[in-house]
């Protein structure tokens, strides 16, 4: 018992720490859309705290208050009652209200995250295939394609400008894949014969790991890529240099 307590203490401290920082251990999302999803999760966590408090509190209270004592008749039942309308209304009504609230918050965030700009700053056509990715910047004459996939092969890199809206046009040319960048808190299936469009607006510079998130065959595990977010001026330079390099090749 004491050993379990010693092990639980650091975990409780970590939990308290992440709760106080407001992140609850969640990544905060490196895009505007991801930050929106992060805030939705904050609402879920905050709603869960009083629910957990009531549930664990009642369990603890009944375990202690109604424990069997030596003097108790072993066949005795506790006081039985039925038909408490106020209690029934409370334990049905409160959860229903919580679910309606969480549903409304989720639907509002989904509408915002799925909304696409009519005038994006950058467009990238992303094509998923067995087993890799093709990133084309239409109008820029630039295409980046996966090297042959393998265990120690780094996937291709997409570069995006910080703070600008990028439209991703996602397709698959063989089987179902999924575009997933964990730090963006966003994942989307790529289905042959269908085109999916979504926007990403990066809010942090850096290199973010991405991978296929739908089992698509033998080399699925090696179907990785990365997204490098740079300031807009650096993005423009990158495009010019890459275009020059690809024209010369
Ligand atoms: Cu795949």
178 CA distance to ligand 1 centroid (A)? 6
81 CA distance to ligand 1 centroid (A)? 57
Residue 70 confidence class, pLDDT cut points 50, 70, 90? confident
Beta-carbon contacts of residue 226 (< 8 Å; ≥ 6 apart): 154, 155, 156, 157, 158, 207, 208, 209, 210
Of 18-32, 105-119, 188-202, least confident by mean pLDDT is 18-32
pLDDT digits (tens, 9 = 90+) for 78-102: 788 888 899 999 999 999 999 999 9
Burial of residue 88, with CB atoms counted within 10 A of its CB: 0-12 exposed, 13-18 middle, 19 or more buried:
exposed
76 CA distance to ligand 1 centroid (A)? 62
Give the global pTM.
0.82
Q: Residue 184 above 90 pLDDT?
A: yes
DSSP string, 62-98: HHHHT---TTS-TT---------HHHHHHHHHHHHHH
Q: Residue 1 above 60 pLDDT?
A: no
220 CA distance to ligand 1 centroid (A)? 5
109 CA distance to ligand 1 centroid (A)? 27
Q: Residue 19: what pLDDT?
A: 67
59 CA distance to ligand 1 centroid (A)? 45
Neighbours of ion ligand 1 (CB under 5 A): 177, 212, 216, 220, 223
Residue 11 confidence class, pLDDT cut points 50, 70, 90? low
| Alpha helix stretches (DSSP H) within the chain | 2-20, 32-65, 85-114, 232-248
**Pick from 151, 154, 160, 127: which is nearest to 228 by CA?**
160
Q: How distant, in Å, are the alpha carbons of 97, 135, 168, 183, 215 from that of 191?
A: 37, 16, 14, 23, 12
Q: How distant, in Å, are the alpha carbons of 135, 241, 245 from that of 248?
A: 19, 11, 5
pLDDT digits (tens, 9 = 90+) for 141-178: 899 999 988 888 889 999 999 999 999 999 999 999 99
The better pLDDT of the pair 64, 14 is held by 64
Could you tell me the domains of the chain? 2-68+78-114 (1.10.287.90), 122-248 (2.60.40.420)
């Amino acid at each position: 018992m004491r050993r379990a307590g010693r092990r639980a203490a650091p975990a409780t401290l970590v939990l308290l720490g992440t709760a106080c920082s407001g992140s609850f251990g969640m990544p905060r999302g490196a895009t505007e859309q991801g930050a929106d999803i992060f805030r939705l999760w904050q609402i879920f966590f905050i709603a869960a705290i009083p629910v957990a408090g009531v549930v664990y509190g009642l369990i603890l209270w009944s375990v202690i208050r109604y424990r069997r004592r030596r003097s108790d008749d072993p066949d005795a039942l506790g006081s039985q009652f039925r038909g408490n309308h106020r209690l029934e209304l409370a334990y049905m009504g409160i959860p229903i209200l919580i679910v309606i609230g969480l549903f409304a918050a989720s639907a509002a965030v989904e509408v915002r995250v799925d909304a696409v700009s009519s005038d994006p700053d950058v467009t990238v056509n992303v094509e998923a295939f067995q087993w890799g990715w093709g990133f084309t910047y239409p109008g820029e004459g630039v295409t980046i394609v996966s090297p042959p996939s393998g265990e120690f092969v780094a996937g291709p890199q997409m570069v995006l400008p910080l703070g600008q809206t990028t439209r991703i046009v996602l397709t698959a040319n063989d089987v179902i894949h999924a575009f997933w960048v964990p730090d963006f808190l966003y994942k989307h299936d790529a289905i042959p014969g269908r085109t999916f469009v979504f926007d990403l607006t990066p809010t942090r510079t850096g290199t973010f790991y991405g991978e296929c998130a739908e089992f698509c065959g033998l080399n699925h595990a090696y179907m990785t890529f990365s997204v490098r977010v740079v300031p807009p001026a650096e993005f423009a330079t990158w495009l010019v240099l890459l275009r020059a390099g690809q024209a010369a090749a």
